[in-house]
Structure formats: structure tokens, C-alpha cells
Amino acid sequence: METRGKDVVRAMTEASDEERITFPEVVTALSEIGIERYHADLVCATKTYYQADGSFETVPCRSVSSPAKAFSSEGVEAAIRASQGGVIKYREFCERIAAAGCVGYFVTLAGRRAVYYGRTGDSHTEWFPGAS
């Protein structure tokens, strides 16, 4: 990944952690630099951003409370709805999905969806608004 791309992914991670940017704004900025997908590891507190050419950058991010052992798709979905509705911001969103047993998530800009997963592989797929 080129220097500009590294700078953008670091800036987007920091802006998200500091709640200065919304998810749609992150998606737009990442799309503009050719990010195809990213992975947020809630246990390791890292995000890895991937470009279609195979290059990637891993950056540290804010840590969360230890994720619950049992995965609750309903709990993840409730956190998503609260975030989309502006009821909660990113930090609380991360805490809520961790409380619902989520240990990480993949966001695919190309596929227009996010996949949240738990310790045993249980998952919840959330399509971007307007995608299917």
C-alpha cells in the first residue's frame, strides 16, 4: 500500500475511534483510495485494510471489553440499528457488539456488507443500506 493509502487508513481508524466520522464517511474515503475490504479484530485491537492488488496495512485501534463467550446475532443487529439510528456512536457500538459475543468483523466495500462473527464462527451478515 502506498504512503497516501496508509495515511488515509490510519486517519479513518483514528477518526472512528474518536467518533469524529460516520461509517458512510469512512466507506467513501476508503473507496476513494481503492480499499476493497477491511477486518476489525476486537480482541487484538487492530484493523487490517486490503486493496485489490493484495497490499494491506494493519493499524492499531481502540480496544473493547472482553467479548462475551456466546454470540448473539440479535444483540449485534440491535447495536447496528442503534448506530444507524444515531442513538449510539462508534465506541458504544463496539462495546455492544462485544457484549453480544462478537470478536471481529469484516467489511467488504466491494460486496457492500459487513460480517460480524463470534468465537465459534457464528455470524451475522449486515448488508449496506440499499444493497442486497
Instruction: Kindly indicate the confidence band of residue 1, based on its pLDDT and cuts at 50, 70 and 90.
Output: confident
The per-residue pLDDT for 78 is 98
Q: Cβ(17)–Cβ(61) under 8 Å? A: yes
The per-residue pLDDT for 3 is 87
The per-residue pLDDT for 130 is 77
Q: Which domains, ranges and CATH numbers included, belong to the chain?
A: 3-127 (3.30.1810.10)
Residue 132 has pLDDT above 70, yes or no: no
Model pLDDT for residues 21-37, shown as the tens digit of each residue: 998 899 999 999 999 99
Mean pLDDT on 103-114: 96
Q: Cβ(99)–Cβ(82) under 8 Å? A: no
CA distance 53 to 113: 20
pTM, 2 dp? 0.93
Residue 87 has pLDDT above 90, yes or no: yes
The per-residue pLDDT for 131 is 67
Mean pLDDT on 38-65: 95
Mean pLDDT on 122-126: 97
Average pLDDT, the chain: 94
Instruction: Kindly indicate the confidence band of residue 108, based on its pLDDT and cuts at 50, 70 and 90.
Output: very high
